[in-house]
Homo-oligomer: A and B are copies of this chain.
Amino acid sequence: MTTPKSRRLERIAPLLTGKVLPTDRTVDALQEVLEPGDRVALEGNNQKQADFLSRSLARVDPGRVHSLHMVMSCLTRPEHLDLFEDGIAERADFAYSGPQSLRVAQMMSEGTLKVGAIHTYLELYARMYLDLFPQVSLVAAEKGDREGNLYTGPNTEDTPVTCETAAFRGGLVVAQVNELVESGELPRVDIPGDWVDVVVPADRPYQLEALFTRDPRKITDVQILMAMLAIRGVYERHEVVSVNHGIGFNTAAVELLLPTYAESLGLKGRICRDFALNPHPTLIPAIESGWVRSIMPFGGEVGMADYCAAHPEIFPVGPDGTMRSNRMAAQTAGLYANDMFIGSTLQIDADGNSSTVTSGRISGFGGAPNLGYSPHGRRHSSPAWLNLAGSEGGRGRKLVVQMVETFGERGLPHFVESLDAVRVGREAGLPVTPVMIYGDDVTHLVTENGVAYLYKCRDLAERRQAVAWAAGATELGRARDRKHDAALHRAGIIASPEDLGVRRTDARRSLLAARSVEDLVEWSGGLYQPPSKFRSW
């Protein structure tokens, strides 16, 4: 039977040997396979990138291949945006644009880049299964064989969803592989061969960012203070066992205080046991000290492969002995199985809304919107969840914690009256202001001033008072009517370091279980192999 897919495959048949495409014919093959207006999924998130395929796609003739509708987790590489400038692509549905956020904002306002929507990861996957399935998927794997079977290694990430949503919707799957092997020689099969149509050896291994590596050397005393406040005022108080930690130095500090400060408080086994989390190197001391029971990773982390493989009791490791991550599964775990999301942001407004979209930049939020709200569909209980229960039916609530210093780089306040996102969203013509986490979803704010228990606020006015208190010496904080502070304090809505039994002078780097990347390597027994930019010894 002739199908749209079989016609595409016919056109590239002369270029293939079985399913194998020679590296140097990739641009030709993409030109033959793609049709104007196609919906194309291009694998690439904040870690792993199918960059050989994206670089090849950027080289096709826009006279032949144009007006593509890109569906991709992340618009993060320069050539991703070249696609739009050159007219090869026209429209994008995505979730994150971090390093390209300035150019994305510019191209959106110029109309060069038409945006369907900026999703959270899990939402984008949901739509790929329902109404955004691709005609062509371009993915990346560590190894592939001649039958199309793929081995992803620890960076499985988005590959399964990107393949499945094409393979089962009449779409075509093209996989770049770091290495082509003979049949039967893959360590394991992550994607069955009959889901994959074309395997092409890449010109070089796919790009991989060490996005979750934080050098303990850069953790400041203020971050350590905030971590101590979080441990006492949030983790301990609510018995938080199951956690997602955002990216950043604040939560890295928490991780490095577990085997020291938290252990001295007798909290081992009582907090921080199960994580939806990338393999953060800063978790190694806690793992080695017996704090951690289970980690479900979104992706892998550069240099952590051997360490993870050596800990199959904690990480998901296959029969082959290497880790398998799964971004869709980990996002689901973070949504429904974790009791707490704790992360950072760039701006918080007077209502408690937060956003990383700042002046002229449209970054998207990746996983945060999905992780940072309490799902009303949750039906299992835990002490932490029940601890935040209101009156109605006794149902509990997930903890959603924003942890942020009042001032950031260059003395810019993290607390502002109104988010830059309001103006940026308006200028870019977005239908809704690009808020990362809504104020009414945030349950706790942690700053160097202490903890604000926003979930206890009776109304928006009280929440605004608590946010302003946490905002400290910023303009927002200073403008507050201080007469509310005492009432908030009596109601247990705000707590200072002293209230929480934390001495500011105790917040010192000597509390960190590891004070350098070298220390982390030592904790790991030499299994952690940090990328060169993190090596200073």
Given A125-B332, A332-B332, A335-B126: A317 in contact with B170 (beta carbons within 8 A): yes
Mark the stretch among A230-238, A390-398, A473-481, A528-536 that contacts chain B: A390-398
Closest residue on chain B to residue A440 by CB atoms: B392
Closest residue on chain B to residue A5 by CB atoms: B319
Which residues of B lie under 8 Å from residue A353 when comparing CB positions? 393
Task: Check B376–A432 contact: CB distance below 8 A.
Answer: no
Which residues of B lie under 8 Å from residue A441 when comparing CB positions? 376
Given A170-B313, A432-B394: A333 in contact with B129 (beta carbons within 8 A): yes
Task: Check B316–A168 contact: CB distance below 8 A.
Answer: yes
Is there a chain B Cβ closer than 8 Å to A449's Cβ?
A: no
Is there a chain B Cβ closer than 8 Å to A122's Cβ?
A: yes
Closest residue on chain B to residue A188 by CB atoms: B194
| B interface footprint on A248-280 (CB within 8 Å = 1, 0 otherwise) | 000000000000000000000000001010000
Which residues of B lie under 8 Å from residue A293 when comparing CB positions? 131
Is there a chain B Cβ closer than 8 Å to A78's Cβ?
A: no
Task: Check A377–B130 contact: CB distance below 8 A.
Answer: no
Mark the stretch among A22-30, A364-372, A509-517 that contacts chain B: A364-372
Closest residue on chain B to residue A323 by CB atoms: B168
Q: Give the distance in Å from the alpha carbon of A141 to the alpha carbon of B534 in the complex.
A: 47
Q: Give the distance in Å from the alpha carbon of A386 to the alpha carbon of B127 in the complex.
A: 17
Is there a chain B Cβ closer than 8 Å to A433's Cβ?
A: yes
Which residues of B lie under 8 Å from residue A318 when comparing CB positions? 167-168, 194-195
Interface members, chain A 431-448 (any B CB < 8 Å):
431-435, 438, 440-441
Q: A168-B317, A194-B320, A395-B438 are in contact. List 5 more A-B contacts (CB 8 A).
A: A116-B380, A123-B337, A125-B329, A386-B432, A395-B432
Using CB atoms and an 8 Å cutoff, list the residues of chain A in contact with chain B: 3, 93, 116-120, 122-123, 125-127, 129-131, 133, 149, 161, 164, 167-170, 188-190, 192-195, 242, 274, 276, 293-294, 296, 312-313, 316-320, 324, 326, 328-330, 332-333, 335-338, 353, 365, 369-381, 386, 389, 392-396, 431-435, 438, 440-441
CB<8 Å pairs between A and B, sample of 9: A117-B381, A123-B377, A131-B337, A169-B316, A170-B312, A188-B192, A189-B192, A194-B319, A372-B377
